[in-house]
Amino acid sequence: MRNKFYEEPIDEYLPQNGNRGYRVSRYELGLVYKVSSNRLSGRAEITAVTTGIRDRFSLDLSQALGVSKVLVNGAKAAKYVHQQGKLVITPQQRIPAGGALALVVQYAGAPKPVRGPWGEVGWEELAEGALVASQPNGAASWFPCDDHPSSKASYRISITTDSPYYALANGTLTHKQTRASQTTWVYEQSEPMATYLATIQIGHYRKQRIDTARGTVPMHAVLPPRLRVAFEHDFARQPQMMATFADRFGPYPFDGYTVLVTDDDLEIPIEAQGISVFGANHCDGHRGSERLVAHELAHQWFGNSLTIGQWRDIWLHEGFACYAEWIWAEAAGDATADTLARAAHHNLARLPQDIMLSDPGPGRMFDDRVYKRGALTLHALRLELGDPAFFNLLREWTARYRHASVTVDEFTDLAGHYSSVPLRPLWDSWLHSAPLPQLPANRTA
């Protein structure tokens, strides 16, 4: 059934997500969560600027959460309708284009993941706590928002929960206060962040600092005490990874990096801005998940600082993070990126050749073939440009679009400045055609 407030979609891959008429600059979330009953109460203060004159504005918000009050620009309660995942707000007076739009939404309920073609994403209740994994459209499971990756804003997240639990959110912990049986944790995320990268993690965790050289990026671990010994072995090479990626990709884009390990097993790790979340199964004592450790760290550059504006360009996140696995293996002396690329190419050639990287389709945007072909595209580009030009390109890419939204055209245009020959044949074969091209010869081998 089509929502009666339906407009042309912002993104064809997620037609129900994202909203028109305004740009959010900041979210201030005041949340109270009761672990035993999975009860979330929230107050969201949203600061935005209008982009046109409209009768009403909409936010994405799960129907599992009930709205009790909405204020617009400090006025008395505004009219609103909450249906089919949209909170549609009608101000008492029209706001001119370029005008301030300050929204306050009070809400509460039992949060649960949002169902979609990619399974369930968003707020997930654990046996002893909660986790949030929102990619691509689960942010609305726990706060009202403009849930689209092109909508980036700063955040203040305050989470009050039962005192035995540790609560982690994005950014810097600026305040912590315990009263009676509850503790309030306040985090400030000053760099712009897409909604799907906002997270809260609650559990019986302890925080520890990871030893790094003086003057390098601060790194921390948050995990159950039982996993500390395995973690310290399995994640021991993270500081070397950070140094390798800072050299190859440019300076780390945030103030710090935290790895959280849940007490539960997770099928795959979870990315968030400044944070990566792993399951207990990723601490096996044998570094069996080290490639994933590298993959998630690389997302801080590719996905979190540089964020796609449309989901069809997902390879700009996943292809780069996958290629970072090979860069780390090469730097660690395990195998060259060329060896790993040719092995991946051999495996990919045996699978159906029916995905076009520039437009894989919403049902396939998280297909492993998109990840691997994206990485192979970068390796083909590296072989074409040579190492000095290729890594100079990556460093300029991350510097020029730091904390911004990006497109494939912007990357291919920038790459053209590093090549003495036209790159159109490379892009046509790797991005815009389904059959898997051959990798160029490695002239340095």
295 is in an annotated binding site: yes
Active site residue 296: yes
* Helix ranges, 194-257 (H): 228-234, 238-249
Q: How many CB atoms neighbour CB 435 within 10 A?
A: 9
Q: How many CB atoms neighbour CB 56 within 10 A?
A: 14
Strands (E), 251-311: 257-261, 270-272, 275-278, 307-308
Active site residue 13: no
299 is in an annotated binding site: yes
Give the Cα separation of 144 and 133 in Å (integer): 16
Give the Cα separation of 205 and 434 in Å (integer): 46
Give the Cα separation of 338 and 439 in Å (integer): 10
CB 11 within 8 A of CB 196: no
| Block residue for tokens 């949060």 | 111
State which H helix or E strand residue 180 sits in.
none
Distances (CA, A) of 54 to 57, 78, 88, 94, 277: 7, 15, 12, 7, 40
Sign of CA dihedral 232, 159, 136, 65: positive
- The catalytic position among 165, 196, 371, 418 is 371
Distances (CA, A) of 405 to 19, 23, 156, 193, 398: 17, 13, 21, 10, 11
- The catalytic position among 124, 290, 296, 325 is 296
Residues in the annotated binding site for Zn(2+):
295, 299, 318
Residues in the annotated binding site:
295, 299, 318
For the annotated catalytic residues, the residue numbers are 296, 371
